[in-house]
Amino acid sequence: MNIMFGILTGIKDSLIGITAIRKIHIQNEKLTKRTQKHQRTNTVSSPKQTFSVYQRLAECCCFNIGVFGSSIVIFNWLLLPYMYELMKFVFGHEGRVLRVWSWLHPILSYTFGAFWVLPLFVISRFVNAFWFQDIAECTFRGKSQSARSVSFFIADTLFSLIIQALFLIQAVMVGKLLYVGLFASIFHLSLLYSLYSFEYKWFNNGELLLK
């Protein structure tokens, strides 16, 4: 029930964000028309950029939901239950199946996480970084001050990945504490999501995450 509530909340927030970006596009178009009346230079987002932003949104949704999310769903809700039923068919005895499944299930989960989820997360982090940056530039009316080299961008992304990994590790570790574990874990995750919220604004303004 909590998982479904989280999924529905995420969908609601995504729709709100897309609606907000659409409103910003309308404002940018009005601002562009006003600017073109006074000067013949287009320094704000153009209709071509508007199309590319919607394309970036679609690509982000297809990649994160279609590839990343669907693979996790298929593994946890299709492959694992099928393997469990297959073991019941092969062994027949329920107690023997439970004993084998008690150590086989963690091994399969950790292997899937280490060889699929983690590498795909790292790859998606770099891919999404470029797409999110395009969306951020349009959101801030194209006023990008982050004209940096690709190597600088990769270095900043790697540093961001290290910070996010530390937050995740801390959230898991403090979650094991008695009484205050849940609150401390939620607090760490809130700080991590706050970093997600401001990271692209800082980068778009030319500010370093290290500062």
pLDDT digits (tens, 9 = 90+) for 93-120: 778 888 889 999 999 988 998 898 888 8
pLDDT band per the 50, 70, 90 thresholds, residue 121: confident
- Look at residue 46 in the predicted model and tell me its pLDDT: 45
- Look at residue 10 in the predicted model and tell me its pLDDT: 75
Q: What string of DSSP letters covers the chain? A: -HHHHHHHHHHHHHHHHHHHHHHHHHHHHHHHHHHHHH-S---S--HHHHHHHHHHHHHHHIIIIIIIIHHHHHIIIIIHHHHHHHHHHHH--HHHHHHHHHHHHHHHHHHHIIIIIHHHHHHHHHHHHHHHHHHHHHHTTT-------HHHHHHHHHHHHHHHHHHHHHHHHHTTSTTTHHHHHHHHHHHHHHHHHHHHHHHHTT--S--
Q: What is the pLDDT of residues 41-72, one digit of tens each?
A: 444 444 444 446 777 778 888 888 888 888 88
Higher pLDDT, 126 or 188: 188
Give the global pTM.
0.60
